[in-house]
Amino acid sequence: MTTTTASVPAGKNRPYSGTGDRLRLWWDAQARPTQWLIGVPFIVFIAFLPVLRIPVLTTVGTDFGGVMAQFGMIALVAIGLNVVVGSAGLLDLGYVGFYAIGAYTVALLTSPDSPWNLTDQWLSQRWAWLFCVPIAIAITAISGLILGSPTLRLRGDYLAIVTLGFGEIVRLLADNLTTITQGGRGLQGVAFPYFGGTDKNPDGVFSAGNSDAPWNSGLWWFWLSIVLIVIVLLVVGNLERSRVGRAWIAIREDEDAAEIMGVPTFKFKLWAFMIGAAIGGLSGALYAGQVQFVVPTNFNVINSMFFLCAVVLGGQGNKLGVILGAFIIVYLPNFFQGRTSLFGIPIDGNDIAGYKYLFFGIALIVLMIFRPQGLFPARQKLLAYSRGLYQAARRAALGGDRATSAAAVLADGPADASSDVPGAGTKDGGDR
């Protein structure tokens, strides 16, 4: 009974047939130097988008540099949340809590309004931000540990509810501990990195006062976040192609089976939580530095949903996909903001931007129906030294005279492409 239903290949969902897959295959097939040759100019091009100010792409209502800076921060958040939700499969609805802790750590240590301000004592305002970022990362990682150790024994929906509560608790603490956080008045004058001060911009290029577009502060924050994203991607990528990443995927697929196969599941879930939290904290620290002002309303629970939306939209488990997801959710509302016509057609952009939650809600529903795996679904590579194997697979795919050609494989598999839902039949077992 169950044996047969679970194990008959549940509808061969053609694994590599979409445009994105071809792009990915093409990319994987390139040699390392070629990948660098394409990748670096591409990143540089993205980095200079706010400078180039391409007509239709550039936002009109808000500064394009500022939008891209926001994108950079949300992209970091999405990468961090993707570790928790996408890789390890732990639904975290309170991720904004970590973002808030990162932002408040920097703000509390550097804002003149805070009782714990260090900048009026021995810490120079110029170096305060850089000094506080590692502290913010460490504190959010510890908060991830504190939240995770009791709650990660829960599974599925229960975990989601507890994390939702955590996000709210952080915000309510920030709102109500008025003697420390100033409550709803917020903390002003948060430190930011000092770099390249001139007579015109005495506080340097990262200062909010630097508004001479296109080389304004938004652009510099965007560049800073690109550097951080690349570093974080390298770290997360190394983790994915290791015992740790495989443990995460195994836990997501079937936690009991993973444990019985010797995976210390609790330990690696905790690591996922801590790493995700640390990345969220880093992003929060960036945010606090950029706006130089931290207030509890910025960390509403709706932001958690927004972050999750970026991950789900982009494709859970695909760290590059979630960056694109972050771009979509940040850029699209800003694209419409303040726009009165598009390609000559008059539109009311402010209205469209105002209804962004409605549109993203609809988009998510449509996505769940037609493409539940996200716009850019994951094809994770979990082995660090398997290049030889995949090259052999490509050789086999290309070798026409071999019995093991692709055609032979096509012939012996059931040619049924009906199921698009990955693991629909087998996933249930692990979630009990």
Partner 1 sequence: MSEPNSPDSLRAGAESNEQFLSPDGSISTSEDSREQDLPDGEVIEVDVDLASVNPDLADAGTVAEIVAADREIRAEVGAPLLEMKSVTMQFGGLTALDDVSFTINRGEILGLIGPNGAGKTTAFNAMTGVYRPSSGSVEFDGRALGSIKRNEITRRGIARTFQNIRLFSDMTALENVVVGTDARHRTSVPGAILRLPRHRREEKDAIDRGMALLEFVGIGSRATHQARNLPYGDQRRLEIARALATEPKLLCLDEPAAGFNPAEKEQLQDLIRKIRDDGFTVLLIEHDMRLVMGVTDRIVVLEFGRKIAEGLPQEIAQNPAVIAAYLGVPDDATA
User: What is the nearest approach in angstroms of partner 1 to the Cβ of residue 19?
Assistant: 8
- Tokens 């001060």 belong to residue: 197
The span of 14-22, 145-153, 218-226, 321-329 binding partner 1 (CB under 8 A) equals: 14-22
Verify binding: residue 188, partner 1, rule CB under 8 A. no
The span of 107-115, 244-252, 289-297, 348-356 binding partner 1 (CB under 8 A) equals: 244-252
Q: Which amino acid is at 335?
A: F
Verify binding: residue 231, partner 1, rule CB under 8 A. no
Q: Per the structure block, which two tokens stand in for 213? A: 């577009």
Verify binding: residue 370, partner 1, rule CB under 8 A. no
Verify binding: residue 122, partner 1, rule CB under 8 A. no
Residue with smaller CB distance to partner 1, 138 or 365: 138
Of these, 55, 56, 388, 432, which contacts partner 1 (CB under 8 A)?
Answer: 388
CA distance 356 to 310: 13
User: Between 395 and 424, how does the x/- string for binding to partner 1 read (CB under 8 A)?
Assistant: xxxxxx---xxxxxxx-xx--------xx-
The span of 104-112, 262-270, 288-296, 343-351 binding partner 1 (CB under 8 A) equals: 262-270
Within 10 A of 177 (CB to CB), how many other CB atoms are there? Answer: 13
By CB atoms closer than 10 A (0-12, 13-18, 19+), residue 336 is buried
Of these, 122, 343, 370, 385, which contacts partner 1 (CB under 8 A)?
Answer: 385
CB-CB contact of 190 with 111 (8 Å): yes
Of these, 183, 189, 372, 429, which contacts partner 1 (CB under 8 A)?
Answer: 429
The span of 78-86, 254-262, 290-298, 353-361 binding partner 1 (CB under 8 A) equals: 254-262
Verify binding: residue 230, partner 1, rule CB under 8 A. no
CA distance 243 to 419: 30
User: Between 20 and 39, how does the x/- string for binding to partner 1 read (CB under 8 A)?
Assistant: -xxx-xx--xxxxxx---x-
Of these, 212, 256, 348, 416, which contacts partner 1 (CB under 8 A)?
Answer: 256
CA distance 157 to 160: 5
The span of 12-20, 153-161, 178-186, 353-361 binding partner 1 (CB under 8 A) equals: 12-20
Verify binding: residue 149, partner 1, rule CB under 8 A. no
Residue with smaller CB distance to partner 1, 289 or 374: 374
Residue with smaller CB distance to partner 1, 39 or 202: 39
Verify binding: residue 153, partner 1, rule CB under 8 A. no
Of these, 76, 133, 219, 263, which contacts partner 1 (CB under 8 A)?
Answer: 263
User: What is the nearest approach in angstroms of partner 1 to the Cβ of residue 364?
Assistant: 22
Verify binding: residue 177, partner 1, rule CB under 8 A. no
User: What is the nearest approach in angstroms of partner 1 to the Cβ of residue 420?
Assistant: 13
Residue with smaller CB distance to partner 1, 93 or 251: 251
Verify binding: residue 319, partner 1, rule CB under 8 A. no
